[in-house]
Amino acid sequence: MQQSLGISFAPLDLDMQAWHRYELLWLADGCRFQVDGADYLVTKHSPRGPLGFVCWIDNQYLVATANGRFRWGTLP
């Protein structure tokens, strides 16, 4: 199902206690997710329309909806 929807993920082998620079480059011909300037995930899919963004780090999450609302929290 993930493949048919164009859903991708990539594990990060990083020291999560150190500071890093995260970038999501959303281009007409695809997307790139970079950490500290290095590509960690490259896809030819470029989503269209109003979208949201979800970021998970361990049991913490941040959600940014298409209408500009934010939610965050932790899961047990």
Confidence at residue 7, expressed as pLDDT on a 0 to 100 scale:
72
Asked if pLDDT for residue 54 goes beyond 80, the answer is no
| pLDDT bucket at 2, cuts 50 / 70 / 90 | low
Confidence at residue 1, expressed as pLDDT on a 0 to 100 scale:
60
Contact call for residues 51 and 67 (beta carbons, < 8 A): no
Contact call for residues 61 and 75 (beta carbons, < 8 A): yes
User: Does residue 74 or residue 76 have the better pLDDT?
Assistant: 74
> Taking the model in full, what pTM does it have?
0.62
* pLDDT tens, residue by residue, 9-53: 788 889 988 999 999 898 889 889 999 999 999 988 887 877 777
Complete DSSP assignment for 18-52: S---EEEEEETTEEEEEETTEEEEEES----SS--
Q: Which candidate, 24, 25, 21, 23, places its Cα nearest to that of 36? A: 21
